Amino acid sequence: MYNLEKLSTLLGGKIKGDKVQEITGLAPFFQAKEGEVTFAAEDKFLAKLNETKATVLVVPKLKEYLPNKIYIVVEKNPRELMPILLKFFKKEILFPTKAIEDSAVIGKNVKIAPNVYIGHNAIIGNDVTIYPNVFIGQDVVVGEGSILYPNSVIREFCVLGKNCILQPGAVIGSDGFGYTKVDGNNIKIEQIGRVILENDVEIGANTTIDRGAIGDTIIKKYTKIDNLVQLGHNVVVGENCFIISQVGIAGSTQVGDNCTLAGQTGVAGHIKIGDNVILGAKSGITGNIASNQVLSGNPPVNVKEHLKIKASLKKLPELIKKIKKLEKIK
């Protein structure tokens, strides 16, 4: 539990509302639950203050204040205060003291190899297999039947469902790439969210999945991710997807169910890809993609159209000559 007045003072804000109460945590605007605090900086949030379930809202001065909410009214843009907010809500990390911490809860028939680290209060389900040099951080949950291959890493607070597989070197819960400029220098914004892998998710060798900044990065059930893939903070990938090797998906992007993203495709941040979408290899995606499409290229177009564009490209130098000729004729 966190203290409201302490937070308000830290933010240089004033509390406005019926009662002062304890806060249970920090959450993104639309995911927040009762008892949590969120912040609204841009108009798109300020216009929808009734749509968040958060109890406490960090906001700039407003014309009117909805009842049934508590406000911390701040002078600065609330977004600029995010580093302070995140630092305030970051949970204390208990540093490793021994290979398998006494507070870790280990299920039945768990196989633990030499040189494994299992963190404070971690919960390892039944029939989990853990190979050498695996790191399992504090409060991590590993669902039953999961297999963690050598040198894979699950950082603090992340959650793996049942029957998940981490190939060697996979990293779950690295910090998202979040910085802010202070006096011209890049200063880190704490990343306090988690990574959630649902049941039957497999993660490829040396793939990296960043934890959420606030809130969680989520990979839904039966989705399979190949080697050397990068998923940014707060990415959500739906069920039964294939994310092929060397794909990169930037922060906060959402991918629907049953999608296939072929190798080396790059997807920008904060966009939505629908269900049943197939993206060809090396595609470059910078805008939303509706469901039920097979696209390829950069920009992405229908896959048949993409083949035509590729064929046309070969003729491009010749075209320029032809046009010059035509211009002379006219």
DSSP state of 289: B
CB 177 within 8 A of CB 210: yes
Q: Residues 290 to 319: which contact a second copy by CB under 8 A?
A: 297-299, 301, 305, 308-317, 319
Helix (H, G, I), strand (E, B) or coil at 86: helix
Site for a second copy (CB under 8 A): which residue of 28, 200, 261, 274?
A: 200
The arrangement of strands across the sheet holding 216-219 comes to 105-106, 123-124, 141-142, 159-160, 194-197, 216-219, 236-237, 254-255, 272-273
Shortest Cβ 18–a second copy spacing (Å): 42
From 120, 233, 270, 306, the catalytic residue? 233
> For this structure, is 270 an active site residue?
no
329 binds a second copy per the rule CB under 8 A: yes
- The site for a second copy, by CB under 8 A, has a size of 88
If phi over 0 gives left and psi between -120 and 50 gives alpha, with beta otherwise, what is residue 119? beta
Q: Which bin fits 319, alpha (ψ -120 to 50), beta or left (φ > 0)?
A: alpha
| Residue that has been written with the tokens 């603090």 in this structure | 156
8 A C-beta contact, residue 140 and residue 159: yes
Residues in 222-281 at the binding interface with a second copy, rule: CB under 8 A? 222-224, 226-228, 230, 232, 240, 242, 244-246, 248, 250, 263-264, 266, 268, 281
Stretch that binds a second copy, among 36-44, 51-59, 79-87, 183-191 (CB under 8 A): 183-191
Task: Provide the minimum distance between the beta carbon of 116 and a second copy in the complex, in angstroms, as a whole number.
Answer: 8
CB closer to a second copy, 76 vs 308? 308
- Options 15-23, 48-56, 78-86, 133-141: segment touching a second copy (CB under 8 A): 133-141
Residue 27 or 235: which CB sits closer to a second copy? 235
Torsion angle defined by CA atoms of residues 135, 139, 142 and 143, in that order, rounded to the nearest 10 degrees:
180
Q: Which of 146, 208, 252, 253 binds a second copy (CB under 8 A)?
A: 208
In the complex, minimum distance from the CB of residue 224 to a second copy, in angstroms, rounded to a whole number: 5
Q: Does 174 bind a second copy (CB under 8 A)?
A: yes
Q: According to CB under 8 A, which one of 6, 61, 179, 290 is a site residue for a second copy?
A: 179
* CB-nearer residue toward a second copy: 27 or 195: 195
| Residue of the chain from 35, 106, 168, 275 that contacts a second copy (CB under 8 A) | 168
The stretch near a second copy (CB under 8 A) out of 15-23, 28-36, 138-146, 322-330 is 322-330
Residue 98 beta carbon to a second copy: minimum distance, rounded to whole angstroms: 6
Binding a second copy (rule: CB under 8 A), the pick from 83, 284, 293, 294 is 284
Query: Between 82-89 and 4-11, two packed helices, what is the crossing angle to 10 degrees?
Result: 150
Which range touches a second copy (CB under 8 A), out of 2-10, 12-20, 67-75, 92-100?
92-100
Residue 48 contacts a second copy per CB under 8 A = no
For the chain, give the number of residues: 330
Q: Determine which helix (DSSP H) or strand (DSSP E) holds 216, and give its type and residue range.
A: strand 216-219
Work out whether 90 is an interface residue with a second copy (CB under 8 A).
Answer: no
Phi, psi dihedrals of residue 284, rounded to the nearest 5°: -120, 115
DSSP 232: -
Are 232 and 177 in contact, with CB atoms under 8 Å apart?
A: yes
Helices (DSSP H) in the chain: which residue ranges?
Answer: 4-11, 43-46, 82-89, 303-329
Q: Which residues are catalytic?
A: 233
